[in-house]
Amino acid sequence: MTDAKSYGWQVEGSEISHKWEDLRQGVQDHIGSLNWGYRVQLRDNNVKYLNSYAQFIDANTIKVRDIMMGVD
């Protein structure tokens, strides 16, 4: 029940209520912390991180699209 509060659930006696905004924010915060941890691990292992979309073209080629610039 302790974690439930972070995701919008309120329990007082037999009354149970839910706040969708708290759920949304809790999920966003959790995903953000996971993503941050992944990026730190990649950096610590000298992996170049590209915040981009990619497509396998063939066995030896990856096409990368910069999501900020809209450039291939």
User: Which contiguous run of DSSP H or E holds residue 38?
Assistant: helix 20-44
Domain membership of residue 14 (yes or no) is: yes
Domain membership of residue 17 (yes or no) is: yes
- DSSP assignment of 13-32 equals TTEEEE-HHHHHHHHHHHHH
> Can you give the residue range of the structural domain that contains 44?
2-66
- How do residues 7-43 score in pLDDT, each as one tens digit? 889 888 889 999 999 999 989 999 999 999 999 999 9
Has this prediction a pTM greater than 0.75?
A: no
- Structural domains in the chain (count): 1
Domain membership of residue 10 (yes or no) is: yes
51 or 58, which is more confident: 58
Domain membership of residue 71 (yes or no) is: no
